[in-house]
Amino acid sequence: MGIKTYNDVYLAVRKRLRDSGIEGYDLESRLLAAKASGKSVEEFLRDGRFYLNGDAFEKEINALADRRISGEPIAYITGEWEFYGLPVTVTGDVLIPRIDTEVLVNTAIEMLILREPDRRVLDLCTGSGCVGMALAANVPSCRVVLADSSREALSVCRGNLLKNNLTRRTSCVEADALQAPPMFLGSFDMIVCNPPYIPSSEIIGLDSSVRDWEPLTALDGGPDGLDFYRAVAGKLQVLLRQNGSILFECGVGQAAEVSQIMESNGFENIKTYRDTIGVERVVAGQMMQNQDRR
């Protein structure tokens, strides 16, 4: 073939992805084309009829396509994903944000807007920061502390807060959800937590795009998948102000056990919230008694 346009190369890569069995080949080929060209998707589509000047673009997009065909998730290849309308940088140090987690954000927002302004929220096991960012962006009156035990994840989180102009109403701290909380955290009106919840024995059975690429420490919830729920409900409830709430995301079939854990630790008004396919995805409970928290 003679001189090629951007579209010629893009369509060839699109066919490669399709022939490799990648379900989202249409969208993903556009994302790879944008990444390889250094343009937005819209800019690439606008300029697609232009002729190439050299072979740099073709080499780059095919290298990216090789990574995708080998199984690497598209979000790690492009380095960015979208969550709740916000651009989120992702690396191999954090989980890729998923639409399931929007149930956690929706529930938290509904609860926060019914309360007095200036609520203080802790986003525990924050990872990329997607949950805490979504709350800070959509409930401007709240202040959000984003916590994780991984310094690498916190670095990604800080970058995302800066990218989305949310640094004035947020802060990042290093804290381990399995341990007693550090004194400097203070007290909160709400804790939101999307913890690791895959039982250890089930990690090997996960799809390879998850098992081989996403951080194990953000997936493994212990022998029964419930280690973090026990620790947070038991050890971190001391961070809650009177009538404060904890909201957990949980895995399929875990809501009843998570509810029982919360009840055994003194939480009341325990409710579950379903995702778009009917899975009980979020469990929320309230700590009514004032235990003289700092």
200 and 276 belong to one structural domain: yes
Write the single-letter amino acid at 225: G
| HSE (side-chain half, CA atoms, 13 Å) at 53 | 2
Closest CA to 75 of 88, 63, 86: 88
* Percentage of the chain modeled with pLDDT above 90: 93
- Give dist(CA 248, CA 270) in Å, integer: 11
Q: Is residue 77 part of a domain?
A: no
Beta strands in the chain (DSSP E): 80-83, 86-89, 120-124, 143-148, 170-174, 188-193, 240-249, 268-274, 280-287
Tokens of 156: 């990604």
Domain end residue (candidates: 70, 101, 125): 70
Q: What is the pLDDT of residue 290?
A: 54
Q: Which helix H or strand E contains 259, and what residues bound it?
A: helix 255-264
Count CB-CB contacts under 10 A for residue 294.
9
* 278 phi/psi in degrees, rounded to 5: 90, 5
Question: What's the domain count of the chain?
Answer: 2
* Percentage of the chain modeled with pLDDT above 70: 98
Q: What is the pLDDT of residue 293?
A: 43
Q: What is the pLDDT of residue 292?
A: 45
pLDDT in tens, 61-73: 999 999 999 999 9
| HSE (side-chain half, CA atoms, 13 Å) at 67 | 18
Task: Tell me the β-bridge partners of 268.
Answer: 286
pLDDT in tens, 251-283: 999 999 999 999 999 999 999 999 999 999 999
56 and 180 belong to one structural domain: no
- pLDDT of 294 > 90? The answer is no
Q: Is residue 180 part of a domain?
A: yes
What is this structure's pTM?
0.92
Q: 268-274 and 280-287: which strand pairing?
A: antiparallel
Neighbouring residues of 220: CB distance < 8 A, sequence distance ≥ 6: 196, 198, 200, 203
pLDDT in tens, 225-244: 999 999 999 999 999 999 99
pLDDT in tens, 20-46: 999 999 999 999 999 999 999 999 999
Q: Is residue 293 part of a domain?
A: no
HEC string for 98-133: CHHHHHHHHHHHHHHHCCCCCCEEEEECCCCCHHHH
Q: What is the pLDDT of residue 1?
A: 54
Q: Is residue 40 part of a domain?
A: yes
Tokens of 151: 């310094």
Q: What is the pLDDT of residue 114?
A: 83
178 and 243 belong to one structural domain: yes
Q: Share the mean pLDDT of the chain.
A: 94
What is the three-class DSSP state of 282? strand
Q: What is the pLDDT of residue 214?
A: 96
65 and 100 belong to one structural domain: no
25 and 137 belong to one structural domain: no
Q: Is residue 262 part of a domain?
A: yes
Q: What is the pLDDT of residue 2?
A: 66
Closest CA to 44 of 5, 15, 6: 6
29 and 173 belong to one structural domain: no
- Give dist(CA 164, CA 116) in Å, integer: 25
Domain end residue (candidates: 43, 70, 97): 70
Task: Tell me the β-bridge partners of 190.
Answer: 121, 245
- Give dist(CA 90, CA 98) in Å, integer: 12
pLDDT in tens, 186-226: 999 999 999 999 999 999 999 999 999 999 999 999 999 99
96 and 56 belong to one structural domain: no
Tokens of 50: 């232009």
191 and 219 belong to one structural domain: yes
Tokens of 254: 């875990």
Q: Is residue 75 part of a domain?
A: no
Beta strands in 155-221 (DSSP E): 170-174, 188-193
Distances (CA, A) of 98 to 19, 131, 183: 26, 11, 32
Q: Which domain holds residue 149?
A: 89-287
Q: Is residue 83 part of a domain?
A: no
132 and 57 belong to one structural domain: no
Q: Any idea what the CATH number is for the domain that residue 204 is in?
A: 3.40.50.150
pLDDT in tens, 84-121: 999 999 999 999 999 999 999 999 999 998 877 889 99
Give the largest Cα separation in the chain, rounded.
76
Domain end residue (candidates: 23, 41, 70): 70
